[in-house]
Amino acid sequence: RSARCFTVFRRLGTFPSDRRSSRKLRTSSFKLMSKVAPLAVESKKLKGAKWKQFRYSEIESATGCFNPENLIGKGGYADVYKGCLPSGELVAVKRLTRGGKEEQGTSFLTELGVLGHVSHPNATPLLGFCVDGGLFLVFHFLPHGSLAAMLHGSRLMEWPARFKAAIGTARGLHYLHSNCRRRIIHRDIKSSNILLGPDFEPQITDFGLAKWLPSEWTHHTVPVEGTFGYLAPEYFLHGIVDEKTDVFAFGVLLLELVTGLRPIDSTQKSLVMKVRPLLESANIQQLVDGRLKGAYNLSEVQKTILAARLCIRQSAIARPCM
């Protein structure tokens, strides 16, 4: 380990500075592994997939000591770094950074527990994890990055790729809500949590806020977390979470794909409020991203707009299922 890396981690408080803290770290890692192990076994039984347990030195080496140049994403609780394994395989390393240790541990175990039950082309599969020197999740690296980066970047995202993102995300959500062994509510569906594969096939990622919803329950009531602009009214006001929470966020995502606009503008006005009058008047020309210059399939755009209108209804009961 280089002197530079040692100094950085000492300053961040993530490297054990003495024997006592080292013992605490080992004890903490052991306790966490006792909870992770059953999740890994269950995942292997359900999906036949085996997670790799990485050493901290492997994670550190892959990311170049968490070189800022390799930082490719920042979320509510984590930073994501691009890395390269000795085999040459590119990976995305999610490093939990914010919140207390207990909060980080809860988020980490939640995401592992959910990923252990998820196996679908439109949901990001887990490659491995690390609990040594911090909490890390390792995924396959997807070359096109997030939908947000593609949609709001300097290069124009053509309509066929946008429509493909909409269809794939819908399939992924339908799977989470209806075809999983347990009902899963993602709670943070947004364009930055949709990754794009080599052929622009979307994958839902970041299950840190996800909730199980037992079959006999109609909803959860939880503290409000997530991203403004995508929050359903009943969730934002009362903390009520069910499948319709994700449906509302998906509706906002559809509007984002059609208009090319962000869910919240510089004046903090939501995209839903901004375009609602246009939706009611069915003014397609004013709704569609002007950068497309008419290069889109009218039928697909009409279907997308109709789906968005249904998904962002104020009443959760009036929204469709995925």
The amino acid sitting at 50 is K
Spell out a b/e string for 270-295, using b for 16 or more CB atoms within 10 Å of the CB, else e: bbbebbeebbeeeeeeebbbeebeee
> Does 265 participate in catalysis according to the annotation?
no
DSSP state of 123: B
Neighbour-count burial for 215-224, b at 16+ CB within 10 Å, e otherwise: eeeebbeeee
Per annotation, catalytic residue among 18, 79, 132, 188: 188
DSSP state of 320: P
DSSP string covering 187-227: S---GGGEEE-TT--EEE---TT-EEE-TT-S-EE----S-
Q: What sign results for the dihedral spanned by CA atoms 183, 188, 190, 194?
A: negative
Annotated binding residue at 190? no
Q: Identify the three-state secondary structure at position 84.
A: strand
Distance, in Å, from the CA atom of 195 to the CA atom of 202, rounded to the nearest integer, reads 5
**CA–CA separation, 166 and 126 (whole Å):** 23
Q: Which one, of 116, 98, 120, lies nearest residue 107 by Cα? A: 98
- Residues belonging to the binding site are 94
Active site residues: 188
- Residues belonging to the binding site for ATP are 94
